[in-house]
Structure 1
Amino acid sequence: MNWQEQNILVVGAGKSGQAAARFLLRHGAAVTLTDKNINPPGPPVLQELQQKGARLALGEYPPVAGGGYTLVITSPGVPLSEPPLQEARQYGLPLWGELELAWRVTGAPVVAVTGTNGKTTTTTLLGEMSRAAGWRTLVAGNIGLPLVEEVENYGPGDLIVAEVSSFQLETALTFRPRVGLVLNLTPDHLDRHGSMENYAAAKARITLNQGPEDYLVLNHDDPWTRAMAPNTRARVIFFSRRHTLEQGVFVREGRVIARLGGREQEIMPASQIRLPGQHNLENALAALGAMLALSVPAATLAAVLRDFSGVPHRLESVAEIDGVLYVNDSKGTNPDASSKAVAAYDRPLVLILGGRNKGNDFLPLLQQAAPKLRALVVVGECRREIIQAARQAGISPVYEAADYRQVVELARRAARPGDVVLLSPACASWDMFRNFEERGEHFKQLVRALAGPEAAPPADTPGAG
C-alpha cells in the first residue's frame, strides 16, 4: 500500500491505536486519532503524536462522512457497534484492526495463540522455545506489545509469536498464521460477543485464511475447539491430557508423547514440566504441538519446559509470610481461569475475588472452590454478586473489603500457617485499575510491605499439582 496517499482514521487511543498511528505517520499517511473516552488535550503520549503530525479528535468521534478517509483502523477494545465503525461499513470503507494492519506489513512467519485462558503463558513459552531453537524471535500482540510496533524489523528467517484475542480476530481479514493455536473456549467477554457461538466464531477466525501447508493446534478435550477441526484447511494437531490420540501430543502413563507424521516419540515425564497445574500441562502440550510442527527437536523443547517457570501475574509466588504463601494470579480475569488456579493447589486457600464482571456466573467456581476455602475475600464492583453466589455455595466466612489494602489485611488475619492466599479475581480490573498488571503489582507491593524488608521471595510454588 502507498501510505502517503492514505487518509486514515484510527479509532481508540490506547496502546494499539497509538502504535498504529506511529506506524502510519512514519510511512507518510495522514492520520486522525480519535477516542471518545479521553478528553482533550490528552496525555503527553498523544500530544507527542500530535507534534509528529497526527490530528487528535478527543472527547467525541468525528463524523466519518465527509472526512475524506480511505481506511478506518480500530483498536481491539472498541466494540464494532461504535459509530465510526458502523459508519465505515455503511459507506463501504475498509475497516481493519491493528492486527490486520500489522499482518499486511509482516515479513516473518507467525505462530498465533488464542483461547480463553493460558494465552500469555503459552505465548511466552513458545517465545522461549523459539529462541532456544535458534530463531530471532518477536513475542508481541495481545501480550502487551502491539505487533505493528515491531513487525517491520523481522524477516523470513525470523519467527513472530503473537497472542491474539477474540477482539483482534473480529477485524482480521487476511491474517494467516503459519501455526495457529486455540487452547480452550469457556464463557468470557459475553457482554461483547453476546453468545458462546459468536465468541467461538471470533476465535475460529484464526484459521480463516490458513491453507494445507499451515497448522492448527487444537485442544481435543474441549468440545468448542475440537469442533473447529472439520472447518479448517490447515493440518490439525490435537493435544490432550486426558486421552491417547492417534495423532497429536498427549500424556500416557505420566509421560508426554508426540505421535505425528506416523512417528511416535517420548518427549519427557510430565512431572518434569516446571509450570504448576493441570492447565499449564495443557499449555505445554499445545506449545509442543506447534514447535514440533516447525521441526524443532524434542530435546530442545523438553529442556525449555524443565526450566520455564511462568509469567508475571499468573500463579506468581510473591512471598511466604508466617508460613502462608501469597500468590498473584491477577491475570485470572474470568471464573474458568480462576478455577484452574484454585485446582493448582492442594493446600487450604484464602481466595480473593472481585472486580468488574464480564457477564459470567460465579457459582460454579465457588462450588468447586468451597471444599478448599479457609475464607473468601471479595472486593470491587461486583462483590455483591459474588457474596450472593458464595451463600448459595455454602461458603463461610466471607469478608468484604473496600480496597486492596483491606483485602490483604483481611486475608492475613484469615490465613493459617500452611495456607495459600490466592488473588485470582475472576473479573476484569477496570473498576479499580487500568489493567490486570496494575492490579497485580499493587497486590504484590502490599504483600511485600506486609512481609517487611528482610523477607525473601519464595522459590518454586509449593503445593501446586
Structure 2
Amino acid sequence: MKNITDYSGKCVLVLGLAKSGYETARLLKKLGAVVTVNDGMDLTGNQDAEELITEGITIVDKEHPLSLLETNELIVKNPGIPYSVPILQEAEKKAIPIITEVELAYQINEGTTIAVTGTNGKTTVTSLIGDMFSHSSKKGLLSGNIGFVASKVAQEAEPEDTMITELSSFQLMGVQSYRPHIAVITNIYSAHLDYHGTQDEYVKAKMNIFKNQQSKDYLVFNDAQRELLELYTVNSKVIYFSTVRPTNGAYIKDDAIYFQEELICRLNQIVLPGKHNLENILASIAVCKLSGINNEAIIATLTSFEGIKHRTQYVTTIDGVKYYNDSKATNTLATKFALDAFNVPVHWLCGGLDRGNGFEDLDDHVKCVERMYIFGQTIPKLIDFAKKHDINYEMCHDVKDAVSKTAKFTKHGQVVLLSPACASWDQYPTYEVRGEDFIQQVKSME
C-alpha cells in the first residue's frame, strides 16, 4: 500500500464500528493517526472493540457525544449512518471533513481502480468483472459493498493489481478525491429516498462516482439513460452499453454481443439467466475490454457464470414446486425482473421496510402471480396492491411464516419466489440474513 503521511498525528473519529469501522480504525492507527471509534450501540463484550482497545484505540459507545468534535479533525463515517444525525450536522457546521471508508482505501491503493454503482445489477456486474479477471493473467481484487472491506483489500493491492469496488450511494456521498480509472453506472431508478430525501439527491450521490475523473479515464454508462448524464459535466470518456442498438461500447446485434464492432460471443453461449442480466453482461464486457482482458477470459465467464446468491437463486424443488431466493430485490425494479422470469404460476413472498415508495411499477408484471404472502412494514400497501389486481393474499409475520403458509396452496409445476421489492431492515439486519431465513425454512420442508 502507499505509505502516505496525511494522517500522521491527526486526530480522527471513526463513526460506526461494524466491519468497515474496525478495519478503518486499524488502518488509520497504522498510518499514525490518533483514533477514536464511536458507536451508538453498547459495545460491552464486543470482540472487535476489545481488540481495538488493546491496539491503543479509544472506544466511545452508547451515544454520539458532541464533545468528540472538540478534538477530532476528520470523521470517517459508516455509510449507513445518515448525515442527518446531530453529530454529523454539527460537524458540518464546524467544517470538519466527513468521508467514507472507500475514500481512505483509494488513497492507499497502489493499483488501478474500477468502481461500480447503480440501483440494480451492481453486485452482479462487480462479480462478472472479477470472474473475467480470474480467467485472465490479470489480478482483480473484489471489494466494497460486495462484502470485502475496501480499506483492508487496498492494503494488499500491488501496483499491477486492479481493485474492483462495488459502491452504494451512501458510500459515494463521502467522495472527495476518489477517482476510479473506470467507473460504471448500471442504471439509476428511484431508491433509498428515506436516506437521501429526494430522487435528485440520490442521483447526485451516484454521479459522484465520476466527478474526479479526467480525460484518460472511462465512464461506462447505460445508453437507455443517457439523458440523465446530459445534466452533468463529464471529463472522462463515456462508453455506452445497449441491448437495443449499436453504441461506441458493448451492444447486441444479430443475436450476438459486440464491443466496438468486434464480435465477442453469441447470446446462446451465455448461461446467466434473465433478460435484465444482458445489460449487466454488456457493462462487464465493456469494462474488461477497456482493461485489456482477452476474449477467451470473457467467454470463459459467460459460459460458466450462473449467478449470485440471493439474486433469483434456485434453492430446491419439493414435490414439483421450485423455490427461488431473490432477497436482494430491495426495490420494485429488481422484483419486476424476477417476476418476468417465470411463465408458470408464482407464489410471491414480498414486503419489508416502508421507504415511502408505492408498488405501481409492478402493475404490468403480476400476470403469473397466483398468491401473495405479505410481511413487514409494507403490509398495508401490498394488501391494497393485491386487491387492486384481484390476487389472493396471506398476511405473514416474517419470511419463515410466509414459506410455511405456501405449503397449503402450492401445486406441482408452480414456483415459490422470495422477491420482497423492499429493504430488509424492518425485520432483518441485511438482505442476506433474510435470504438465509428463506433457504433454511425451505430446506426444513424437504
Q: What is the Cα deviation at residue 120 of structure 1? A: 0.7
Go from structure 1 to structure 2 and tell me whether the alpha carbon gap of 1:295 and 1:90 turns closer, same or farther (over 3 Å shift): same
Q: What is the Cα deviation at residue 403 of structure 1? A: 2.6
Q: Which residue of 2 aligns with 1:373?
A: 369
For structure 2, list consecutive stretches of 5 or more residues without a partner in the other structure. none
Spell out the pairing of 1:226-241 with structure 2 (5 A cutoff). Answer: 226-227=229-230, 231-241=233-243
For residues 438 and 353 of structure 1, what CA distance do their matches in structure 2 show?
Answer: 15
Q: Partner of 1:113: helix, strand, or coil?
A: strand
Q: Partner of 1:231: helix, strand, or coil?
A: coil
Go from structure 1 to structure 2 and tell me whether the alpha carbon gap of 1:315 and 1:65 turns closer, same or farther (over 3 Å shift): closer
Which of 33, 40, 43 aligns to 2:46? It is 43
For residues 6 and 44 of structure 1, what CA distance do their matches in structure 2 show?
Answer: 26
TM-score (norm 2): 0.95
Q: Which residue of 2 aligns with 1:408?
A: 403
Q: What is the Cα deviation at residue 430 of structure 1? A: 1.2
For residues 35 and 397 of structure 2, what CA distance do their matches in structure 1 show?
Answer: 43
64-73 vs 19-28, greater mean Cα deviation? 64-73
Q: What is the Cα deviation at residue 69 of structure 1? A: 1.1
Confirm whether residue 253 of structure 1 aligns to residue 254 of structure 2. Answer: yes
TM-score (norm 1): 0.91
Q: What is the Cα deviation at residue 274 of structure 1? A: 1.3
Which of 8, 22, 29 aligns to 2:12? It is 8
For structure 1, list consecutive stretches of 5 or more residues without a partner in the other structure. 452-465
For residues 225 and 411 of structure 1, what CA distance do their matches in structure 2 show?
Answer: 42
1:310-330 CA deviation, whole Å, 9 max, x = no partner? 111111110011111100111
Spell out the pairing of 1:86-125 with structure 2 (5 A cutoff). Answer: 86-125=89-128
Contact 2:135 2:300 in 1 (8 A): no
Go from structure 1 to structure 2 and tell me whether the alpha carbon gap of 1:46 and 1:450 turns closer, same or farther (over 3 Å shift): same
Spell out the pairing of 1:283-298 with structure 2 (5 A cutoff). Answer: 283-298=280-295
Letter in 2 for 1:10: V
Go from structure 1 to structure 2 and tell me whether the alpha carbon gap of 1:114 and 1:5 turns closer, same or farther (over 3 Å shift): same
Which of 149, 165, 168 aligns to 1:165? It is 168
Letter in 1 for 2:245: H
Q: Which residue of 2 aligns with 1:346?
A: 343
Contact 1:274 1:307 in 2 (8 A): yes
1:252-300 CA deviation, whole Å, 9 max, x = no partner? 12111111xxxx1111112321111111111000000111111222232
7-16 vs 84-93, greater mean Cα deviation? 84-93
Confirm whether residue 243 of structure 1 aligns to residue 258 of structure 2. Answer: no
For residues 339 and 245 of structure 2, what CA distance do their matches in structure 1 show?
Answer: 23
Confirm whether residue 212 of structure 1 aligns to residue 212 of structure 2. Answer: no
Go from structure 1 to structure 2 and tell me whether the alpha carbon gap of 1:64 and 1:93 turns closer, same or farther (over 3 Å shift): farther
Letter in 2 for 1:127: G
| Equivalent residue pairs, number | 442
Which of 188, 193, 203 aligns to 1:190? It is 193
Confirm whether residue 52 of structure 1 aligns to residue 48 of structure 2. Answer: no
For residues 123 and 395 of structure 1, what CA distance do their matches in structure 2 show?
Answer: 39
For residues 66 and 77 of structure 1, what CA distance do their matches in structure 2 show?
Answer: 20
Go from structure 1 to structure 2 and tell me whether the alpha carbon gap of 1:161 and 1:324 turns closer, same or farther (over 3 Å shift): same
Superposition CA RMSD, Å: 1.6
53-62 vs 323-332, greater mean Cα deviation? 53-62
Letter in 2 for 1:22: R
Q: Which residue of 1 aligns with 2:184?
A: 181
User: Percent identity, aligned pairs only?
Assistant: 35
Contact 1:318 1:444 in 2 (8 A): yes
Q: Partner of 2:371: helix, strand, or coil?
A: strand
Contact 1:219 1:238 in 2 (8 A): yes
Q: Which residue of 1 aligns with 2:361?
A: 364
Letter in 2 for 1:248: G
For residues 141 and 65 of structure 2, what CA distance do their matches in structure 1 show?
Answer: 35
Which of 24, 38, 56 aligns to 1:34? It is 38
Contact 2:404 2:441 in 1 (8 A): no
For residues 225 and 164 of structure 1, what CA distance do their matches in structure 2 show?
Answer: 19
Q: What is the Cα deviation at residue 227 of structure 1? A: 3.6
Q: Which residue of 1 aligns with 2:76?
A: 73
For residues 109 and 227 of structure 2, what CA distance do their matches in structure 1 show?
Answer: 30
Contact 1:188 1:359 in 2 (8 A): no
Go from structure 1 to structure 2 and tell me whether the alpha carbon gap of 1:178 and 1:66 turns closer, same or farther (over 3 Å shift): closer
Q: Partner of 1:307: helix, strand, or coil?
A: coil
Contact 1:216 1:236 in 2 (8 A): yes
Q: Which residue of 1 aligns with 2:332?
A: 335
For residues 241 and 146 of structure 1, what CA distance do their matches in structure 2 show?
Answer: 33
Q: Partner of 1:111: helix, strand, or coil?
A: strand
Q: What is the Cα deviation at residue 241 of structure 1? A: 0.7
353-362 vs 183-192, greater mean Cα deviation? 353-362
For residues 224 and 282 of structure 1, what CA distance do their matches in structure 2 show?
Answer: 17
Letter in 2 for 1:271: N
Q: What is the Cα deviation at residue 428 of structure 1? A: 1.1
Q: What is the Cα deviation at residue 83 of structure 1? A: 2.1
Q: What is the Cα deviation at residue 388 of structure 1? A: 1.4
Contact 1:184 1:224 in 2 (8 A): no
Q: Which residue of 1 aligns with 2:265?
A: 268
Q: What is the Cα deviation at residue 34 of structure 1? A: 1.1
Which of 379, 382, 397 aligns to 1:383? It is 379
Q: Partner of 2:367: helix, strand, or coil?
A: helix
Contact 1:50 1:56 in 2 (8 A): yes
